[in-house]
Every structure is written in C-alpha cells, then in structure tokens.
Amino acid sequence: MKTYTRYLLSFCPIGLSVCLASGQDFSAQKTVTVKAGGARCAYPVDLDGDGDLDVVGAADLNDKVAWYENLGAGTWGPEQVITTDADGVQRVFAIDLDGDGDADVLSASFIDDKIAWYENRLNKKTQGFGQQQIITTDAESTSCVFAADLDNDGDADVLSASSSDGKVAWYENDGGGTFGPQRLLIAGAWGVGSVHAEDLDGDGDQDVLMAVFNSDRVSWFENLGGGSFGSEVVITTKAAGPRCVYTEDLDGDGDPDLLTASFWDNKIGWVRNLGGGNFGPLKKIASNPGRPKSVYAADLDGDGDADALSVSYESDTVAWYENLGSGSFSAEKVITNQADFVWSVYAADLDSDGDADVLTAQYYGSKIAWHENFMGVPSCNIVFCDTDGDNQGDVSLSTCDCSNGAITLALSASFPGEFTYPLVGLGTTAVSPTGVSELCLAGSTIGRYRKDAGAISATGTFSIDLLDAASAPGGGVPSIGGALCNGNTWRFQYWHRDGMNPSRYSKGIAGLIN
C-alpha cells in the first residue's frame, strides 16, 4: 500500500512562493445534532433521494428515531422525528423494504424487545415517514438489526440479534414490506449483540455472522438456499467479549474478511477468509484501545484498499488503522479522543467530495458528529499576480488536482500570446520584481514546462508532471531524492509571453499536494 504525505500549499509572505507543511488526516468533530438523547447509532443513507447522504439516528434515552437532512457540503438540517416509540432504541438501519426504490428505516429497541420499520414517504404526497410497523416483539433485549436478501428472492429480509434470549433470527419479506414469523438460526447464544450478513463462502447467497459476548465467540451460519441455514460454525473463540463483527476485503484477494472489536481483551482484530467457508486465525490489529464497541472498514486514504475504523467508549476514542497491504495494518491513528462514550462508527462520503468521512454516535452529550476526511480530493485556492500596479490581478491560477506528482493548473481566463511556460522552482531566496514584467518566482533553480497557449483546454486547464524532469526543457524540476519532499519550499508560477515584450508572470498558486 502506498503511504501518502499531505502538504498544504499557501501564499508565503517572504517572496512570492508556495509553502509546504504537513496536514492532518481528519477534521475535529463537526456536529450533526446534540438532541439525540443517549445516542447509540448514527447511520448514513440518502433518505430524500437528492443524491447526498443524510443521517438517521437512534436515541436511547428518549426512545427516539430521527433523521437529519444533508443540506450539502456536510451541513445539516434540524432533527426530524420518525418515532418516539422505540423503547431503549439501540440500532437503526436503512434499506428499501417495500420495493418502491427509496430507503426505509429499521430499528431495534432493547427495553420493549422490538424490531420495527418505518416507511419512507418523503417523495410521496404524504411526506415524512409512516407509522411504526412492528416486525416482532419476541427478541428479548435486542440490540442489533440488519437487512439483506437472505432467500434470494430479490427483496431485503430482516435479521436480528437479541442478547437475553440468545437469539439470532430472520424475518422473510414478501416484497412489499410485510414480514413473516420469526425464523431462528440459533437460540441460547447468550450475549449475542452483533449480527451481519455477507456471502462468506462465495456461492452467491448471503450467509450470517454473529458475535457472542458471553462466550468469546464469532461464528457463521451457511446459507443453504431457499431460506434454510446450516448449524453454527465457530470461527474463533479468541475474541474476549466480542462487541462487533463486520466484513470487508482486507487483504485484497476478493473475498470478505472479518473485522472484530472485543471488550475484555481491548482488541481490534481481523480474520482472513481463506475461501470456501474456511477462515484463518484471529490476528491483532491493535490492543488497549479503551474498550472498543464498534468497528467498520472503508478506504479512508484513497489508495484502493480498506482501512479499519474503531470506536472505544471508555477512552472516548475514534481511531483508524491504515491498511499497509496483504492484511497488515499501521498502529492506531487517533481521529479524536473527545467522543464522549462513543458507541457506533460508520464511514461514508458526507460532504460529496469523493472521500469517506467518519460518522459517530456519542451517548454522553447526546451527540451525533462527523469528521471530514482531508486525505481525499485536494482543495482549490486562488492567488493572483498584479503585474501592472492596478491591484486587480492580471493572471489567476488554481490547483485542482496534484496527486502522484502531477499537478493540474487552471487559468481563470486565457489571454493572447505566443506561448506560455509553467515554472517550478526550489529555494528560499526571493527574486525582486524588475519592471513591469515582475518576475515573482524565487529560488536558485527553475524548471520550465513548455505549453503552447493553443494546447490549453477550453476550460483553461493543463497538466504538468512535477516528477518528470524530461518534460521540462532547460533543466527540469529540481528535487531531493527524486520526489517532492516535506520541509522543502517549492515555488510555482505561470509565465506568459505577451508578444515577446513585455513578459507577464503570475504571482503564485495555492492548493494541496498528496
């Protein structure tokens, strides 16, 4: 796995240059709501069909399921209550249950032993959500609900786990949101608190996973087809007090591996799927993370593999673990240790910028919060060069993509001229402006990139590869170790030859380099 270093490019007061400095991976907490009394779960899903991800939350202390509209760019509308009749609600999930194309909401409530669903009517004349429709009240101390097509008939069935009666059960969907009676996979698995469905053996149907806190075991049930399941097959008993199990391809071999969080041994671990329903031993990703409650996996750093996420409520910590390839992981990278009694975590693109942000539910403070991912698409900033003293800026540039050594420059407007040069320099000595040409680039070594004005796109953009010296007539880009290096001052500029005399130069550019 490639390791990325982030750099911030900004205008420097000394000379006319671009400065590089290390940046952080995620933002501080950004609040969605503080009205989710005893928040247990926050789930990202597009409820209103507008193309961005809203949030549905479970509030234990006020028995409330509510949703929060994404207003764009990661800002949120006020709380919109779906129900206050989910006594001790622990978990919510969203998926199309009635076959009308939108995401309905499911809840699991601990005190009233209830699994229920709520029809999404946001794009119908009635608007809002429908009344609570009970699937079962025979799930004693239920704390988990999930949905997947378990019988291969094209609709989403419902799966539940209930700790006091030790049940993992499923409920067949007839396609229109009417559910059949409870069908047991197991009873007496005391302390079962996490359930998940995934095709674990590669035969095209959804198998079922469970984590059983009291007996330290993670197990699976093979889907035999037609709504039948095999008996329990134990995967591991080395997760002491497992709280959560999740699946994702962690080693890049195309099948879903297991990610676990266990309470008593304070461990985040993973299990390799060997194929055909066989699994390797539990391997430790991290220990001592402060009583982990939940895990999730997603590509957080944009390198194409799935990283691990965890939340730990004793230490109030949200953390991630970089996937280094072939199933090895970095040490814990703390996103925050201010998530008060944090209970759940998911990752999804909440601000529509193309990367996976982190969403959490925090019991104390009744807070649902998110952390913006800074490892994704670079931001674009603009500075200008005033070449004729009117302080209006004759040429403007911005960076819009500069990953892997390539940088794309965008001109605010093209202007007539014979040819143009993007310039790149390395150094700390400023060059004083001389006459109207006002050369702004500093540094003892300057590399030029030839780019005829006619070759610039209609939108005013062009690309240069900062790591390809051959593309720079007259010397190439100076580098240390053949790459852009943290701690160096790199200077970027745009040189316009305006009828040969006088020449014009941009002041600089600002943006982000990965």
Residue 357 lies in a domain: no
User: In the prediction, which pLDDT does 302 show?
Assistant: 86
Average pLDDT, rounded, for the chain? 79
pLDDT at 207 over 50: yes
- The pLDDT of residue 124 is 82
Q: What is the CATH number of the domain that holds 107?
A: 2.120.10.30
331 CB-contact burial (10 Å; exposed 0-12 / middle 13-18 / buried 19+): exposed
Report whether 2 contacts 512 (CB < 8 A). no
Phi first, then psi, for residue 129 (nearest 5°) are -120, 150
What DSSP line would sit under 459-501, residue for residue? TSEEEEETT-GGGSTTT----BTTB--TT--EEEEEEEESTTS
| pLDDT value of position 8 | 25
Global pTM value: 0.73
Length of the chain: 514
Q: Give the model's confidence band at 504: pLDDT under 50 very low, under 70 low, under 90 confident, else very high.
A: low
- Of 294, 322, 342, the domain-final residue: 342
DSSP 16: S
Q: How confident is the model at residue 73 (pLDDT cuts 50, 70, 90)?
A: confident
| Torsional sign, CA 369, 371, 372, 376 | negative
Lowest average pLDDT, out of 4-8, 195-199, 260-264, 501-505, goes to 4-8
Q: Same domain for 316 and 395?
A: no
- The winner for highest mean pLDDT among 45-59, 117-131, 490-504 is 45-59
259, 385: one domain: no
Assess whether 139 and 267 both reside in one domain. yes
Pick the more confident residue, 14 or 413: 413
| Same domain membership, residue 103 and residue 227 | yes
- Which pLDDT belongs to residue 374? 83
Going by the DSSP 8-state scheme, the letter that residue 236 receives in this structure is E
Residue ending a domain, choose from 315, 342, 369 = 342
pLDDT tens digit string along 298-340?
A: 999 888 899 999 999 999 999 999 999 988 999 999 999 999 9
Q: Which of 342, 368, 391 represents a domain boundary (last residue)?
A: 342
Structure tokens at 26: 């995620």
- Considering the domain architecture, whether residues 336 and 382 belong to the same structural domain is answered as no
Judge whether 397 lies within some domain.
yes
Look at the chain and report how many structural domains it folds into. Answer: 2
Q: Are 203 and 323 contained in the same domain?
A: yes
Residue with the bigger pLDDT between 27 and 504: it is 27
Start-to-end Cα distance in the chain:
15
In degrees and rounded to multiples of 5, residue 283 shows phi and psi of -115, 140
Euclidean distance between CA atoms 440 and 431, whole angstroms: 6
| Cα 274 from Cα 160, distance rounded (Å) | 27
67 found inside a domain:
no
The one-letter amino acid at 34: V
CB of 292 within 8 A of CB of 270?
Answer: no
Query: Does residue 389 register a pLDDT over 60?
Result: no
Residue 496 has pLDDT above 70, yes or no: no
Query: Is 483 a residue whose pLDDT tops 50?
Result: no
Is residue 212 one of the residues assigned to a domain? yes
The overall longest dimension of the chain from CA atoms, in Å, is: 87
Same domain, 320 and 388: no
Measuring CA to CA, which residue among 164, 178, 246, 184 is closest to residue 210?
246
In a domain, 370, yes or no: no
Q: How confident is the model at residue 491, as a pLDDT?
A: 52
Domain that holds residue 443: 7-22+378-513
| Residues 292 and 435 grouped into a single domain | no
Residue 40 domain flag: no
- Is residue 338 domain-shared with residue 391, that is, in the same domain? no
Res 74: pLDDT: 78
Q: Is the dihedral of CA 211, 213, 217, 223 positive or negative?
A: negative
Confidence of residue 375 (pLDDT cuts 50, 70, 90): confident
Place of tokens 């745009």: 494
Q: CA–CA distance from 133 to each of 46, 82, 486 (Å)?
A: 21, 12, 57
Q: Report phi then psi at 401, rounded to 5.
A: -160, 130
Residue 17 lies in a domain: yes
Identify whether the C-beta of residue 506 lies closer than 8 Å to the C-beta of residue 396: yes
Statement to judge: residues 338 and 398 lie in one domain: no
CB 16 within 8 A of CB 425: no
pLDDT tens track for 152-166? 999 999 999 999 999
Residue 418 within any structural domain of the chain: yes
Whether the upstream peptide bond of residue 502 has omega within 30° of 0, thus cis, is yes
- Tell me, yes or no, whether 176 and 291 share the same domain: yes
CA distance 11 to 352: 27
- Statement to judge: residues 276 and 177 lie in one domain: yes
The rounded distance, in Å, linking the Cα atoms of 456 and 463 is: 9
